[in-house]
Amino acid sequence: MHRLLAFLSAALTVSATFITNDTTGIPSSFEYIIIGGGTAGLAVANRLSVNHSVLVIERGTDQRDDENINNPLIATAGFPPNICHGLGSMPPQVGSNGTKLRVQPVQFGNCLGGGSSINAMQGSRPTLAGMNALEALGNPGWGWDDFLPYMQRSETFTPPNAQQIERGASFNASVHGFSGPVGVSFPDPFLVPQVHSAAKETAESVYGVTPTQDMGDGFSGGHVGSMYYHIHFNETLQTQRRSSSAWSFLYPESQQRSNLIVLTEHIVNTIMTTNASTDGNITATGVTLLPSAGGDMLTLSVTREVIVSAGSVFSPGVLQRSGIGNSSLLQSLGISPVLDLPGVGSNFQDQVLLVNVSFPVSDAFQSDPNVTVNAPTLGLITAHATANEAFGDQGTQMISSAVRNSTSAADQVIASGGIVNAQSMELQVNVIANAYEIDHPLMELLFTVGVTLRLWAQSALPLSRGSVYINTTDPFSFPVVDAQYLTIDSDIEIFTRAARRLGLAASTPPFSDLINSTASAALGLPAVNASDDAWRTWALDHYSPAVHFIGSNSMMPHEVGGVVSPELLVYGTTNIRVVDASIMPLGIFPHCTLGLYGVAEKAADMILQTASKADPISLPSP
Ligand SMILES: Cc1cc2nc3c(=O)[nH]c(=O)nc-3n(C[C@H](O)[C@H](O)[C@H](O)COP(=O)(O)OP(=O)(O)OC[C@H]3O[C@@H](n4cnc5c(N)ncnc54)[C@H](O)[C@@H]3O)c2cc1C
């Protein structure tokens, strides 16, 4: 009663969203409880709380005034340390001699906005071939035509200005949204003109790709264009700001919700469930949580749904601590299984990146009065190459058969926990090979300039699969996160090719004219015509995580290790959904964020549809 009165008095004075780190002032029951106030979680909360009571529980803090987060130029100048930028570690990953020696960090967001508050703000979208592959995996309603309107709903796209157009930016209005919460725009000032045109020209000649009007139009072939960012121009401050999920869906005046409470600095331990339903499915009745600084465990009740949105690294642990997951794992930790769901935490994956190829610029470029190389600058030229472009005329055939041969690695991947059965490998291999056959990009190459000129190569649609699992019931413990990078031959083959192409781009004019002529040798890059073995060794010794973690609660059929249905409901439950990057079973989002807003919008629609047909659950009397 005391709690309710405290909340009512706060609600009477403020009709805005109530953000607090104190549980004494909040009710004990909500229609929806969302676990994690990150990228997808805040977007779903915003939509549901128009007409329903919603509680978001976020482990981290409210960092709304942190310039290291909000100011895109500061934020991209080497990711300055901030309280939101979490770091964990991964068991050693494979290196060139086959031994697991490479230590890779696990980066994650740890404040309101989650990953969207600390990421590099690079905006990209899936392709038509990618979304259709997701649908073909057993997810009706998730093809490109169904999904595009959701990405548009979340977005306010700012068309390029005259200077940006002059420097090469272009767009296709028909694929964008112009009234959603998330600001998307080209950076201003834009990438220095010399780099812009040199990068495009070199990408065209190295890959044979053609310039595209808009990198987000779903086109599934090879193309090159300017990348937009999740940034917007703030009229009051007269400067660009990060469009994090928090600054898009939570803080703005126009997004206030009297039905929404956001509880920060509290960590969810478990979801409480009952198996009273007649169909044998379990039903969530609430959550247990505790202050992030430590303290007493609390419980809060839910009358409609629990939405797990703690991200790919942490969502599996929430389910596992709640007794939902692989029964053997749970029993080994002393957790009583309530639902044996072996897919929880498997199918975990990340793209692979060569991010450390940073070339010193040439003297001529550095002394050009029109170039400021020392200031951090935003702006990327992105090239997507298809298998034929990357491997020559027979490329598609070669790649699709290399991918199809990967079914022979099923036992190895099952043994490492990456998939639950051979059928899962076969299904995924098929949809990935089919996607390449209809020209899903094989790799992404990114060019940018700061103090150095940087080239990044990123593989698309990897097949290597790892896992995430808890090894203690302590919610504060970091889980065991193992991406198993580059453990499948076809991934190594594709990534080696991406590395070789990166080397070729670095030595092809006009881009090569901008960098120091001795740079490639100084960085230890093999010669362009060096053997495949030399390039493979170099690639395996230089890769980094792309930190686009996905898949650990995959949306795919139950019998192949899926955790959620196409409605994002956890199999075997009536009212637990997962809405975050962990539901994506395939790496079809080259960079995740804009796609994830689409996922959140679609999820909110499905949740509201369910609510329109059913009354809230009556909770048992305490
Ligand atoms: C360094 C870095 C750079 C990146 N760069 C880009 C980029 O340029 N472009 C791009 O599109 N993508 C980028 N990404 C990827 C992108 O940011 C993520 O894929 C995306 O933010 C994931 O969103 P999510 O909703 O799944 O999870 P998150 O945004 O991570 O949200 C999960 C939230 O849950 C909270 N949480 C976790 N466990 C609990 C618990 N038990 N109880 C309560 N709260 C909990 C976390 O604190 C977090 O706020 C980058 C990621 C990183 C780490």
- Write out the H or E segment, with its range, that includes residue 238: none
Contact 143, 131 (CB under 8 A): yes
Alpha carbons 598 and 591: distance in angstroms, whole number: 13
User: Atom 35 (ligand 1): residue with closest C-alpha?
Assistant: 36
Active site residue 558: no
pLDDT at 517: 81
Catalytic site residue 591? yes
User: Tokens representing 84?
Assistant: 């939101």
* Candidate CATH numbers 3.40.50.720, 3.40.50.920, 3.40.50.2000, 3.30.560.10; the one for domain 122-229+352-459+486-542: 3.30.560.10
Which atom of ligand 1 has the smallest separation from the CA of 86?
Answer: 53
Closest CA to 617 of 313, 308, 273: 273
Instruction: Calculate how far, in angstroms, residue 3's C-alpha sits from the geometric centre of ligand 1.
Output: 32
- Containing 199, the helix (H) or strand (E) segment is helix 193-207
Q: Please, how many CA atoms are within 13 Å of residue 471, restricted to the half-sphere of its CB?
A: 7
Identical fold between 2-64+248-348+552-613 and 122-229+352-459+486-542? no
User: Residues 58, 63, 67, CA angle at the centre, nearest 5°?
Assistant: 150
Angstrom distance (rounded) from CA 458 to CA 498? 7
Residues in binding site for FAD:
268
Helices (H) and strands (E) in the chain, counts: 20, 30
Q: Whose CA is nearest to atom 37 of ligand 1?
A: 310
- Going from N- to C-terminal start, the domains of the chain cover 2-64+248-348+552-613, 122-229+352-459+486-542
CA of 241 to the centre of ligand 1 (A): 18
Q: Which fold has domain 2-64+248-348+552-613?
A: FAD/NAD(P)-binding domain (3.50.50)
Which residue ranges in the chain fall short of pLDDT 70? 1-14, 77-81, 356, 370-377, 449-452, 619-622
Q: Compute, in angstroms, the gap from residue 348 CA to the centroid of ligand 1.
A: 15
| Residue closest to 576 by CA, chosen among 262, 309, 197 | 309
Bridge partners, residue 468, by sequence? 481
pLDDT more than 90, % of the chain: 70
- Note the pLDDT of residue 253: 95
Q: Helix/strand/coil (H, E, C) string of 582-617? A: HHCCCCCCCCCHHHHHHHHHHHHHHHHHHHHHCCCC
Residue 279: the pLDDT is 83
Query: Cβ atoms within 10 A of the Cβ of 547, count?
Result: 22
Rounded Cα distance between 577 and 570, Å, is 6
The tens digit of pLDDT for each residue in 496-537 reads 988 888 889 888 998 888 888 888 888 888 998 999 999 999
- Around ligand 1, the residues with Cβ closer than 6 Å are 35-41, 57-60, 107-110, 114-116, 118-122, 267-268, 309-312, 314, 318, 475, 547-548, 580-581, 591-593, 596
Buried b (16+ CB within 10 A) or exposed e, 18-38: bbbeebebbbebbbbbbbbbb
pTM summary value: 0.95
**What pLDDT is recorded for position 622?**
46
Q: Give pLDDT, residue 13.
A: 45
pLDDT score of 451: 59
Give residue 574's identity as a one-letter amino acid code.
T
Under a CB-based contact definition with an 8 Å cutoff, are residues 195 and 449 in contact?
yes
